[in-house]
Amino acid sequence: MSTMDTRVYGGDDGHWAGPSPGRVYVSLMGGPLDGQLYDVTGWSGQEREVGALLITDRGLFGPGGRAFYRPSATDPGGPFLWDSDTP
């Protein structure tokens, strides 16, 4: 699957939305949002080090639950890896 065929998290009210030119994305790997892209355009290096807590109904806690994704310790500029789910 090419990047242009990949769904962007939160894009277009949950409908299929591909990446937009001029935006910066990280891949989400593992967990309930595996394979989606996450828009980090304008994020500082410090914000990217923290990662993201993303709302999803596909996680362990169902609708309203959240999945925590953060960068790999060995590749902080790479994809965000699934860490855990939380209510």
- What confidence tens digit (pLDDT) does each residue in 45-67 have? 999 999 999 999 989 999 989 99
* pTM of the predicted model as reported, rounded to 2 decimal places: 0.85
- Would you state the pLDDT for residue 13? 55
Cα angle 84, 70, 34; round to 5: 65
Q: 56, 84, 82: which is closest to 69 by C-alpha?
A: 82
Q: How many domains does the chain have?
A: 1
Q: How far apart are CA 1 and CA 44, in angstroms?
A: 29
- Would you state the pLDDT for residue 76? 81
- Would you state the pLDDT for residue 3? 52
Domain around 55: 3-86
- Would you state the pLDDT for residue 15? 57
Name the phi and psi angles at 16, rounded to 5.
-60, 120
| pLDDT under 50: residue ranges of the chain | 1-2
